[in-house]
Amino acid sequence: MAVQSSPAAMDPYKFLNIVENPDGSLTRRNYFPSVPATQSNSKSFKDISLNPINQTFIRIYKPPIPPPDTDTNKLPLLINFHGGGFILYSAKTIFFHQVCADNAAKLPAVVISVDYRLAPEHRLPAAYDDAMDAIMWVRDQAMDKNNDCDPWLKEYVDFSKCFLIGNNVGGNLVFHAGLRALDVDISPLKIRGLIMNQAFFGGVERTESELRFINDKMVPLAATDLMWSLALPKGADRDHEQKELVKMLEARGVEVVAKFDEVGCHAIEFINPLKAKALLESVKEFIKDSCQPVDVATATNSTIATTTNNI
């Protein structure tokens, strides 16, 4: 495919359906429906406040199966971060909600979806801070000091089998939260893996793929440029803690496994059932492999990260 060197004329604000207000906030005019917790008639998901001051919350999903009968049969825990370029959507947005519900039912697993603060009202590192709030909340549940662990987590979850998962900027949050978690004591919680689906990263220098898809119908380059400008701290550019992500992970003892799909587009799993099924199977295989018993004589504390991309 020939490299596209010039962008088509377009207004990224109009493309993203947003309006920047005089105070720097956004009016978001996207019309994707949300799923409120009151629709949980089957009690398959619920919302819990995470940080009242920051007005963040988590949405917990449990699979439609009875609680495991023994501790050895307890399920993995997935901490999920939704996409949206740091500036759009929430854990309640219908397509992100449905993916989490499907993952809980089909893996099976318990899924915690984090509703983090959006930019530009809350520029980075606010979303990274919220991601760590969620991890530390789960750690506190695992410690269960006051016998107040959430009953769904207590009944279903093996806290030694935790995974961070996210698509688009959710993958970016997975990366940064995973690195931060290496520097704090999260025991008895153990993060076994990082799952980054089409993670949203960028740099000042254009890559070949960015130029090739400069007029991408799903996420054109002008739109990603705007997302970054609205999300990054004032005065920072896209080389801000972004470069060489694989090398940064490997330097911390992380094994990185990559999967690439040469046919597709950004977020294709939301519109193509076959791609969604293939992604689910890849995640299921990764979780299974990461939870295999290891020889204690050769075991390390390394986390395994997997990345998936359409190129």
Determine which helix (DSSP H) or strand (DSSP E) holds 229, and give its type and residue range: helix 221-231
- 95 exposure class (CB count in 10 Å sphere: 0-12, 13-18, 19+): middle
| Other CB atoms within 10 Å distance of the CB of residue 266 | 19
User: Strand, helix or coil at 252?
Assistant: coil
Confirm whether 282 is domain-assigned: yes
- 276 exposure class (CB count in 10 Å sphere: 0-12, 13-18, 19+): middle
Confirm whether 300 is domain-assigned: yes
* Domains: count for the chain: 1
Q: What tens-digit pLDDT sequence spans the chain (311 residues)?
A: 445 556 677 899 999 999 999 999 999 998 889 999 886 566 899 999 999 999 999 999 999 999 999 999 999 999 999 999 999 999 999 999 999 999 999 999 999 999 999 999 999 999 999 999 999 999 999 999 999 999 999 999 999 999 999 999 999 999 999 999 999 999 999 999 999 998 898 888 888 888 888 998 888 999 999 999 999 999 888 775 544 666 777 777 777 776 656 545 455 554 566 777 777 888 888 888 888 764 433 333 345 566 655 43
Confirm whether 2 is domain-assigned: no
Digit-coded pLDDT (tens) for 260-284: 565 454 555 545 667 777 778 888 8
Confirm whether 3 is domain-assigned: no
Confirm whether 150 is domain-assigned: yes
Confirm whether 1 is domain-assigned: no
CATH of the domain at 154: 3.40.50.1820
Q: Quote the domain boundaries for residue 247.
A: 12-310
Q: List CB contacts of 172: < 8 A, sequence separation 6 or more.
A: 166, 196, 199, 200, 201
Confirm whether 184 is domain-assigned: yes
What ranges in 90-163 are assigned the alpha helix state H? Answer: 94-106, 126-143, 151-156
Do 77 and 157 form a contact (C-beta atoms < 8 A)?
Answer: yes
Confirm whether 232 is domain-assigned: yes
Could you tell me which residues are beta bridge partners of residue 193? 163, 304
Digit-coded pLDDT (tens) for 64-104: 999 999 999 999 999 999 999 999 999 999 999 999 999 99
Q: CA-to-CA distance for 95 and 281, rounded, in angstroms?
A: 19
pTM (two decimals): 0.86
